[in-house]
Amino acid sequence: MADIDTVQGWLGESERVAVLTGAGISAESGIPVFRGPGGLWQQHRPEDLATPEAFAKDPRLVWEWYDWRRARVAQASPNTGHHALARLERRLPVLTLITQNVDGLHERAGSRRILRLHGDLWTLRCTGCGRQNRNTEVPLPELPPRCRCGALLRPAVVWFGETLPADILQQASVAAASAQLFFVVGTSALVQPAASLPLMAREHGARVVEINPERTALSSHCDISFLARAGELLPQLVGD
């Protein structure tokens, strides 16, 4: 396939590569996509639960949903797409992996240079003292969980209505602006500010490659857009 050969050639020429991943790559591991059919949980929309207001109103309900999500993710495994990106990181001088996912599958596949735009499902943050700690217990022994200071713990993820961590977004912007090659993998390219990163990369001279089963709003702005699953195509691009 000519496009695969072309991208492999670009990879061989590039020292600075950035990758933006979204829910699509995790969906291939069996994790439900946040948006789309089948998104209901006990008659609640995720968009109504993942907010500061929902947590303030009923922290136990919100934590029941997150405990369920953590259990689903714990049963999943990184797929061949995750592993291909980890191999690529080890091979290149600089690969920055920017992810909208909170599931930790990239880490489990072996990726190390990760910018988590939307936080981490496995980190809990105290609403009182601000202390953060990693917790992989499934299920959690207490809902809602509490910090040793007595205040409620919350998932260290970015909820609707909250801003992305400024330092992470800044690092992602720098990676996009300095990349020679930018991959967009498994994302609808609708959620800002993440959706602007590949356009920023293109403005600074990077080649942009999209991998997604369906066309997106970004497709027409890419140098090459593959209509494919990440788990099928990334191993072909990266090789062993």
Q: Which tokens go with 21?
A: 């991943």
Report d(CA 113, CA 94) in Å as an integer: 9
Nearest CA to 66 among 123, 19, 115, 28? 123
Q: Which of 82, 83, 106, 118 is catalytic?
A: 118
Report d(CA 101, CA 95) in Å as an integer: 17
Beta strands in the chain (DSSP E): 16-21, 94-99, 114-116, 119-126, 132-134, 153-157, 181-185, 207-212, 224-227
Secondary structure of residue 97 in the 3-state scheme? strand
Please name the amino acid found at residue 66.
Answer: Y
Report d(CA 3, CA 117) in Å as an integer: 30
Secondary structure of residue 27 in the 3-state scheme? helix
Please name the amino acid found at residue 213.
Answer: P
- In the residue annotation, 118 being an active-site residue is answered as yes
Rg of the chain (C-alpha set): 18
Active site residues: 118
